[in-house]
Amino acid sequence: MKNGKKMRFLITAGGTREYLDPVRYITNASSGRMGYALAAAALKAGHSVTLISAPTGLVPPAGAEVVSVVSAGDMFKAVKKHFKTCDCLIMAAAVSDYTPVEAAKVKRKKEKKILTLKLKPTEDILAWAGRHKKQNVVVGFALEDRNLKRNAEKKLISKNADMIVANSPAAIGADSSRVLLKTPQGSWIDITGDKAKTARAIIRHITSLILG
Ligand code: CTP
């Protein structure tokens, strides 16, 4: 991973699914497009990519090694397996913060009373990577509907990431997006454009962060 050499990117994408029973699950509105665009941009720049993907309707870019996962727990396992050998982890996935305490083995039957679901927190994968990184660079995303910069910076510091990409819920599923990038020491960088352009710019900034 020295000047001009190709880097190994580990990129997560999509919204995880937390099953309540064999046919029902909790998820979110993430399309996975930003993670897939990042994978395409990194490959185009000559790097290698392992794409850990939660279910999406997208076709992975040619050349990516794809690891398909479903739940936050699966994604955590896959990240742990590949993290040591990557130069940069980008957590673009929308990882569920909670998962059912118990998933029913058979389809739940409806009953005429209030149903309370018991959920437990999932592992924060980005924070785990921030604690375990050695030579690797860790990049997180922050989706914020209020106080974008302040909340994103809090995540950057508390999860010990090297860069945070902040965006607002308007970015979900949209073609064009505005993202703000920040490293712990740097100032905010504003990028607007379609997801391919935004992804190229993010990869460029990460590359210069690593290569200095
Ligand atoms: N993330 C993660 N593991 C989780 C939850 C989130 O690795 N269990 C990562 C996401 O992939 C993203 C970053 O943490 O890179 C921030 O995710 P976000 O949903 O914006 O924030 P949360 O940490 O979940 O905090 P909150 O929902 O309270 O804003």
| Record: fold of 8-108+115-211 | Rossmann fold (3.40.50)
Kindly state the percentage of the chain with pLDDT values over 70. Answer: 96
Mean pLDDT to the nearest integer, 138-144: 96
Ligand 1 pocket test: which of 141, 148, 163 has the largest number of ligand atoms within 8 Å of its C-beta? 141
Q: Please give the distance, rounded to the nearest whole angstrom, from the Cα atom of residue 148 to the centre of ligand 1.
A: 14
**How far, in Å, from the CA of 115 to the mean position of ligand 1?**
27
Catalytic residue among 3, 28, 160, 167: 28
Q: What is the DSSP string of the chain?
A: --TTS--EEEEEESB--EEEETTEEE--S--SHHHHHHHHHHHHTT-EEEEEE-S-SPPPPTT-EEEE--SHHHHHHHHHHHHTT-SEEEE-SB--SEEESS--SSPPPP-SS-----EEEPP-HHHHHHHH-SS-EEEEEEE-SSSHHHHHHHHHHHTT-SEEEEE-GGGTT-SEEEEEEE-SSS--EEEEEEHHHHHHHHHHHHHHHHH-
Q: Return d(Cα 138, Cα 136) in angstroms, integer.
A: 6
pLDDT (average), residues 169-195: 87
Pocket of ligand 1 (CB under 6 A): 72, 91, 93, 95, 97, 122, 124-126, 140-143, 155
Domain spans of the chain, in order of start: 8-108+115-211
The answer to whether 28 is a known catalytic residue is yes
Task: Output the pLDDT for position 185.
Answer: 94
Q: What is the per-residue burial (b if ≥16 Cβ within 10 Å, else e) of 191-210?
A: beeebbebbbbbbebbbebb
Residue 112 Cα to ligand 1 middle (Å): 35
Residue range 93-124, pLDDT digits in tens? 999 999 999 999 999 999 999 999 999 999 99
Sorting pLDDT into bands at 50, 70 and 90, what band is 1?
very low
pLDDT at 83: 98
Q: Is the pLDDT of residue 2 over 50?
A: no
pLDDT given for residue 176 in this prediction = 75
Q: Whose CA is nearest to atom 6 of ligand 1?
A: 95
